[in-house]
Amino acid sequence: MSNYEVNGRLYSAEPNPGQCLRTFLRDLEVFGVKKGCDAGDCGACTVWLDGKPFHSCLVPAFRGEGRKITTIEGLAKNGELHPMQKAFHDAQAFQCGYCAAGMIMTTASAAFDEAHKADLPHALKGNICRCTGYRSIVDALHGKSNIEEDVAGKACGASLPNPFTDAILTGKARYTMDIAIEGLLHLKVLRSPHAHARLKSIDKTKALAIPGVVAVYTWEDVPRRLYSTALHEDHLVDPDDTYMLDNVARFVGQRIAAVIAETEGAAEAGVRALKVDYEILPAVFDPVAAMEPGAPLLHNKNEVVSQNGNIFCTLQGEIGDVAKGFKEADSVHEMTYSTSRVQHVHLETHGSIAYKGDDGRWHVRTSSQGPFTVRGKLAYLMGVPAREIHVFTERVGGGFGGKQEMVSEDLPLFASMKLDGRPVKWEWTREDEFLGATTRHQMTTKVKIGAKKDGTLTALDVHVVSNTGAYGNHASETLAAAMGCAIAAYRCENKKGVGHVVYTNMIPGGGFRGYGASQTTFAMECAMDDLARLLGIDPFEIRRKNVVRPGDNVESIWKEASDASFGSHGIDQCLDIVEKELTKGNGVKKPDGENWAEGTGMALAMLECGPPTEHRSGAEMKLLPDGTYHLACGSSEMGQGIATAHKQIAASIVGVRARDVDIINADTDRTPYDTGTFASTGTVVAGKAVHITAQAMRDDILDFTARHTGVDLDKCRLDNDAVICGNKRIMLTELHAEGAKVNHRFTVTRRAYLSPRTIAFNVQGVRLAVHRITGEVRILHSVHAADIGRPINPMQCRGQLDGAVAMGYGWALVENMVHDEGHMVNPQLRNCRVPAFADTPHTDIFFADTIDSIGPLGAKSQGECGINPVAPAVSNALANATGVRFAHLPFTPDRLFSKLAKAT
């Protein structure tokens, strides 16, 4: 045995041959060391060796012998946070917190000196954060505090810290995989190397002969039940077109077989030893080609219902008379715009652990945005009652819609059920994510738009083709969203739209922040700018003239009345703010040199807060014997800060500090039902549930007090930790004790439904410079204004918008999943990039001053829509700078310079 000193503690252990330090430390149960890539690209695994930071996934474990290894757990001393931990605390420089350990280990090291601080784009190039947009991390490094005091009764509207801050920053927070379980088995899958193939045979013999391999499962072993991996309340909105394991592979990366072994290494060896005989089938990748007669068919029509061959569904509608509207137009613009396939890249990959508990039930610990919906699907697939399955989350390291999908829970549960309830873990690699998780739907949108000379729209015709890839999860819903807000944002009497969702042999699409609306917002906002240019009208003015106003019906292409209306209306303010800020400027000049062109662009986005289909959330609140409260919510906390916001909502209603309300989330045994945390529902549905539950709690306490004391109810009121009752002050602890005597439990549960929905807006302004020869783009000024009602936690809302805007810049300028005949050629973070610090401009974030009449405590949704106007604003700025319309994402230099070269 060798000796390793980790955080001052000596361990006698021997790493496996070839084992990296990251997995070795985690084997020692040092779980503060995280994994985002295992390839040196993300920095989540950063530890110190003799005080110097290293990516531990790149360091052979044996090199740690005889050296002082320090991880995030070893940074605080004598109960005092390290100054950098304290700085991250005060600035709240994290959201999901999954990157925080690595960020802190990098920036807290002695090597990170003033010169590094002065050059953060280089100094932080080895650490990626997908949530924050880096602004709050800069705040931490500059010693800025973003938090306010937690005052009883004033929680709502205060910038209070995340309640799990200290646990996250000291490495004590437990994410999905941060647990040691005795007897744990490991699951790995073989993924298809072919875009379309039938499995003729799978030979398991060699795999089963590998020491440690305990089982191999193929399509012949698992229940043959069709389902969809998408998580929705109504399972009918997604096609049942997927099997747990199938005998036909429809995209490169589809799982073919699962190997279960005593170690991860044995499971991987087992996967490599499987011998599969494939019959290669013709494949189709382009959705237009897939719609042609004679195109290879993806699904057997006897099993999967699609409308027409590979066309899974078509949505269409018309209001008014579009033909007449175009005749009345003075100018008509028509163009096709397209958006690219990108992935969520939540830093914590998918993963689940399933086991049989002492209670005889099945337990699934998972990283999910919808554990209740997962439970329903698992029960259906395994053929057991839902009550026998418990699904729960621990801390979730980011989601962005990627975990609104059941992709990692079914196989471990199935294997555990087959293997006497032994715990089975499936932790995805980053490559698993790129090959096997879902992406944003690639969409192509043709827009035809007509207007009078003064800019008044007369007709709008939109044609969308959505490539859903091999399976239809989220396909119809994202198309419905695509045909919704972006079109409904503008008043026009004559609107028409047709949209098709098409199966191809590409990686499947799924839900992703912005959910279809991002794609058509890109097209619509570029088209509005093109139309404005045609008419010689300012881009802000054409939007002011046509954007929907209070009193308008919220109309897209369907005649049916929508349940969405204006609980508040702040788009005018957002437009004014962004225009004023861009006009004022920020003093940043374009680089020197005649080849740099400068341009300004803007775009707006509208969001119906919540999906049009049913969504429900419950909350339970209890008064505890010590006079504090316990809140249980079914929604998932994944870094969007919903736990903080829910505590603030509850605390403000019962008049205490937020810290006097503890919270648990997303657990099918311990929290009330929640459809899932997606589609902008965390505040407006789950938050509403918390709001009415806290009101019921307050009423229950006051009612009991009045009955108990004989004082009139209207003379009783809550006052922090007591009830003022006439001229008496009765402590909540006393009331709780009195309640216990008469079996009054001070426990209330309420449920909220989505409808009616309110509407939020976002406006993005961009000034940029683009190099005509190299295609390099530099963002000089970035301004974002959001109409999100009353911010429950302004710091957190700003952080959500920072992250959403950064993701928008990533989509526009950096991220690029490159496929060749269905094969992803760059399934690594270093090649299929997400924005690093150097790629992410600072954005000035502003809020419109609105208080919503529909959302809880005046709030609206805020985390989702910020991404939507960014890419079109960039395209509009590029058009302004160069006169060239870049209509197809992404705007990577290689794609820009060739077009710019032709234009000059």
Residues 388-417 that bind ligand FES (CB under 6 A): 398
Residues 117-156 that bind ligand FES (CB under 6 A): 129-132
Rounded to a whole number of angstroms, the minimum distance from the CB of residue 357 to ligand FES is 30
Q: Which tokens belong to 652? A: 């403000």
Query: Smallest Cα–Cα separation from 516: which of 442, 406, 614?
Result: 442
- Calpha distance 370→619 (Å, rounded): 15
- Which of residues 32, 53, 64, 97 is near ligand FES by CB under 6 A? 97
Rounded to a whole number of angstroms, the minimum distance from the CB of residue 36 to ligand FES is 4
CA–CA distances in Å: residue 877 to residues 307, 603, 777: 40, 10, 11
Query: Smallest Cα–Cα separation from 681: which of 404, 480, 489?
Result: 404
β-sheet bridge partners, residue 620:
632, 749
- Which of residues 28, 44, 411, 879 is near ligand FES by CB under 6 A? 44
Rounded to a whole number of angstroms, the minimum distance from the CB of residue 836 to ligand FES is 12
Between 102 and 739, name the residue whose CB sits nearer to ligand FES.
102
Ranges assigned E (strand) in 373-430:
389-392, 424-427
Rounded to a whole number of angstroms, the minimum distance from the CB of residue 734 to ligand FES is 42
Q: Which tokens belong to 17? A: 């041959």
- Which of residues 25, 57, 845, 879 is near ligand FES by CB under 6 A? 57
Rounded to a whole number of angstroms, the minimum distance from the CB of residue 826 to ligand FES is 16
Rounded to a whole number of angstroms, the minimum distance from the CB of residue 854 to ligand FES is 30
Q: Does 41 bind ligand FES (CB under 6 A)?
A: yes
Q: Does 37 bind ligand FES (CB under 6 A)?
A: yes
Residue 532: strand, helix, or coil = helix
* Beta-sheet strand order (sheet of 424-427): 213-217, 255-261, 185-191, 424-427, 351-356, 362-366, 389-392
Q: Does 427 bind ligand FES (CB under 6 A)?
A: no
Rounded to a whole number of angstroms, the minimum distance from the CB of residue 665 to ligand FES is 16
- Calpha distance 300→306 (Å, rounded): 9
Between 38 and 839, name the residue whose CB sits nearer to ligand FES.
38
Between 107 and 876, name the residue whose CB sits nearer to ligand FES.
107
Number of neighbouring beta carbons within 10 Å of residue 887: 20
| Segment lying near ligand FES (by CB under 6 A), choices 92-100, 217-225, 717-725, 895-903 | 92-100
Rounded to a whole number of angstroms, the minimum distance from the CB of residue 504 to ligand FES is 31
- Calpha distance 581→586 (Å, rounded): 8
Give the 3-state secondary structure of 172-184. CCCECCCCCCCCC
Rounded to a whole number of angstroms, the minimum distance from the CB of residue 404 to ligand FES is 17
Query: What burial letters (b/e) apply to 345-373, b meaning 16+ CB within 10 Å?
Result: bbbbbbbbbbbbeeeeebbbbbbbbbbbb
Q: Which tokens belong to 209? A: 């002969």
- Which of residues 38, 233, 427, 660 is near ligand FES by CB under 6 A? 38
Rounded to a whole number of angstroms, the minimum distance from the CB of residue 34 to ligand FES is 7
Residues 6+ apart with CB under 8 A from 768: 598, 599, 600, 601, 777, 778, 779, 780, 874, 877, 878, 881
Q: Does 36 bind ligand FES (CB under 6 A)?
A: yes
Q: Which residue is it, tokens 């994402």?
A: 889
Q: What is the largest CA-CA distance in the chain?
A: 86
Q: Does 807 bind ligand FES (CB under 6 A)?
A: no
Between 23 and 339, name the residue whose CB sits nearer to ligand FES.
23
Give the 3-state secondary structure of 58-116. HCEHHHHCCCEEECHHHCCECCECCHHHHHHHHHCCCCCCCCHHHHHHHHCCCCCCHHH
Q: Does 42 bind ligand FES (CB under 6 A)?
A: yes
CA–CA distances in Å: residue 44 to residues 33, 159, 398: 7, 27, 13
Between 96 and 557, name the residue whose CB sits nearer to ligand FES.
96
- Which of residues 11, 21, 31, 43 is near ligand FES by CB under 6 A? 43
Between 351 and 611, name the residue whose CB sits nearer to ligand FES.
351
Between 144 and 830, name the residue whose CB sits nearer to ligand FES.
830
| Per-residue x/- track, 616-655, ligand FES (CB under 6 A) | -----------------------x----------------
Residues 448-477 that bind ligand FES (CB under 6 A): none
Between 45 and 632, name the residue whose CB sits nearer to ligand FES.
45
Rounded to a whole number of angstroms, the minimum distance from the CB of residue 62 to ligand FES is 17
What is the number of alpha carbons within 13 Å of residue 101 lying toward its C-beta? Answer: 33
Alpha carbon 674 to its chain centroid, in Å, reads: 17
Q: Which tokens belong to 216? A: 């191999």
Rounded to a whole number of angstroms, the minimum distance from the CB of residue 56 to ligand FES is 6
Between 55 and 422, name the residue whose CB sits nearer to ligand FES.
55
Letter for the amino acid at 232?
H
Return phi, psi of residue 80, to 5°: -100, 130
- Which of residues 4, 11, 94, 337 is near ligand FES by CB under 6 A? 94
Residues 335-374 that bind ligand FES (CB under 6 A): 347
- Is residue 15 a contact partner of residue 32, using CB atoms and an 8 Å limit? no
| Segment lying near ligand FES (by CB under 6 A), choices 39-47, 117-125, 438-446, 664-672 | 39-47
Between 43 and 872, name the residue whose CB sits nearer to ligand FES.
43
Residue 584 burial by Cβ neighbours in a 10 Å radius (0-12, 13-18, 19+)? exposed
Rounded to a whole number of angstroms, the minimum distance from the CB of residue 40 to ligand FES is 5
Query: Smallest Cα–Cα separation from 174: which of 94, 90, 105, 98?
Result: 98
- Which of residues 13, 40, 286, 544 is near ligand FES by CB under 6 A? 40
Letter for the amino acid at 668?
T
- Which of residues 45, 345, 554, 679 is near ligand FES by CB under 6 A? 45
| Per-residue x/- track, 293-332, ligand FES (CB under 6 A) | ----------------------------------------
- Which of residues 96, 248, 273, 571 is near ligand FES by CB under 6 A? 96
Rounded to a whole number of angstroms, the minimum distance from the CB of residue 102 to ligand FES is 7
Kindly state the number of chain residues that form the binding site for ligand FES, as judged by CB under 6 A: 25
Q: Which helix (H) or strand (E) holds 216?
A: strand 213-217
Rounded to a whole number of angstroms, the minimum distance from the CB of residue 810 to ligand FES is 13
Rounded to a whole number of angstroms, the minimum distance from the CB of residue 25 to ligand FES is 12
- Calpha distance 359→117 (Å, rounded): 53
Sites of contact with ligand FES (CB under 6 A): 35-38, 40-45, 55, 57, 94-99, 129-132, 347, 398, 639
